[in-house]
Amino acid sequence: MWYGFGNTSAAYNSNPVAPNTTLRESFPLLHDSMATPAEFRANSVGANGDAKGARNDPLLNGMLWILDEISKGLGLRRTMFYDVLYSIIDELQSNLRCDLNAVQTCSKWNVSIGNGLLVVGSYFFVIFLLLNAFKLDFLAIFAVPFLWVFLWRLCYGYSWTCAPLLPPCLITDIAATTVAIFPKQIEIPQPLWLHAQCADTAPINASCLRTCQDEPFGFVDLQSVVAWVLAETGSNSSTVISVVRRLPIFNESIFAVQILVAEKVIADNIAGFVPAHRLCAAINSYRLVPYLFVTALAATLFILMVRIALAIFFGTFTGAFAVFLPSFTR
């Protein structure tokens, strides 16, 4: 009873502070599998620090070598596959126990619900496309009612075993996110004004504003918008550059500079510059429309090809099974 009353009052004694986490910091990170005990690390790495040679079994060595080559081809670290498995197991173990104190005091409130919705929604969209390619989209539909568990886990460290408890900072977070999305008034960032006197005049004169094509913004093409999106989300820039360098619409050297400039703006976080770049990126997002249409068409064709290949494979397997079945039956 003393423990129960103490935890009940914890929510009133705490003063949770809203997280100041950017979108790029909101994406979950894989747990390091090298933090496991030595006997488990030996399963994923050999004496030379790679998977090859970790076991004497030729078949297992071959599979580990394939994983190494795939990781190097994608620009990922060699233990990525083991980090994924270790992270899933660790999360499953953590979700079996409800951290009651963290839920009631919001001590694990690390991500705002607005950023959490973007992160969970993007992951769910990618998974839905992959499952749809193999005609397993019904699995993604069944997962929709449980998305709130992933969302609250990311934002507040909430586990499904805490249901039906609600973190007390949930209402505050929803209210703050709503105000951020639907503000009472739109404030033009200071770097977009040509002169300080222009900010005091009403109505706003277009001659007082800088354009997004001017310096220090430089949103003049598709690359500048993509570079800002990559910097904002914290994507692996080197991997993206190695992919887009094969596309004729991208200039690799200019694109690399644009990414570095965007990351520098976010890192410096000078007052007004980050909101100004976000506004310019949103205004110039129309440049992405034709390429998004082509990408959607290519994804549709890819899904169609996968389904055709699966149909051919199952047809061939069924035919071969029907031919060889009489050979083993009387």
The closest alpha carbon to 85, from 106, 67, 99, belongs to 67
Lowest mean pLDDT among 57-71, 105-119, 266-280: 57-71
Lowest mean pLDDT among 64-78, 131-145, 161-175: 64-78
Within-domain flag for 192: yes
Radius of gyration for the chain, computed over Cα atoms and rounded to the nearest angstrom: 26
Confidence class of residue 53 from pLDDT cuts 50, 70 and 90? very low
171 vs 7, higher pLDDT: 171
200 and 325 assigned to the same domain: yes
Task: Pull the structure tokens for residue 219.
Answer: 């949103």
Q: How many CA atoms lie within 13 A of 182 on its CB side?
A: 3
Distance of CA 223 to the CA centre of its chain: 20
Residue 177 has pLDDT above 80, yes or no: yes
Confidence class of residue 194 from pLDDT cuts 50, 70 and 90? confident
Residue 114 has pLDDT above 70, yes or no: yes
Number of domains in the chain: 2
DSSP string for residues in 309-325: HHHHHHHHHHHHHHHHG
| Residue at a domain's end among 181, 214, 236 | 181
Within-domain flag for 201: yes
pTM of structure: 0.67
| Residue at a domain's end among 158, 181, 204 | 181
The closest alpha carbon to 223, from 148, 284, 297, belongs to 284
Task: Pull the structure tokens for residue 50.
Answer: 């790679």
Q: How many CA atoms lie within 13 A of 329 on its CB side?
A: 6
The closest alpha carbon to 279, from 221, 209, 212, belongs to 212
Residue 47: predicted pLDDT: 43
CB 304, CB 129: distance < 8 Å: no
Angle between helices 222-233 and 252-268 (to 10 degrees): 40
Kindly state the DSSP code that residue 204 receives in the 8-state scheme: P
240 and 308 assigned to the same domain: yes
The closest alpha carbon to 265, from 224, 228, 211, 239, belongs to 228
Rounded Cα gap, residues 92 and 86, in angstroms:
10
92 and 147 assigned to the same domain: yes
8 and 152 assigned to the same domain: yes
Rounded Cα gap, residues 59 and 57, in angstroms:
6
Residue 38 has pLDDT above 70, yes or no: no
4 vs 287, higher pLDDT: 287
Average pLDDT, the chain: 78
**Mean pLDDT in residue range 296-314:** 83
211 and 305 assigned to the same domain: yes
Lowest mean pLDDT among 204-208, 235-239, 315-319: 235-239
Within-domain flag for 56: no
Rounded Cα gap, residues 204 and 197, in angstroms:
11
161 and 99 assigned to the same domain: yes
Residue 34 has pLDDT above 60, yes or no: yes
Rounded Cα gap, residues 260 and 258, in angstroms:
5
Residue 226: predicted pLDDT: 85
201 and 310 assigned to the same domain: yes
232 and 129 assigned to the same domain: no
Q: Which amino acid is at 320?
A: A
| Residue at a domain's end among 120, 153, 181 | 181
16 and 156 assigned to the same domain: yes
Confidence class of residue 77 from pLDDT cuts 50, 70 and 90? low
Within-domain flag for 110: yes
Q: What angle do CA 118, 123, 124 make, to 5 degrees?
A: 100
Note down the domain range covering 200: 188-330
E-strand stretches of 186-241: none
Task: Pull the structure tokens for residue 228.
Answer: 């800002």
Residue 195 has pLDDT above 50, yes or no: yes
Within-domain flag for 273: yes
Q: How many CB atoms are closer than 10 A to CB 143?
A: 15
**Mean pLDDT in residue range 260-287:** 83
216 and 272 assigned to the same domain: yes
Alpha-carbon distance values, 20 to 112, 113, 185, 275, 323 (Å): 8, 12, 22, 15, 65
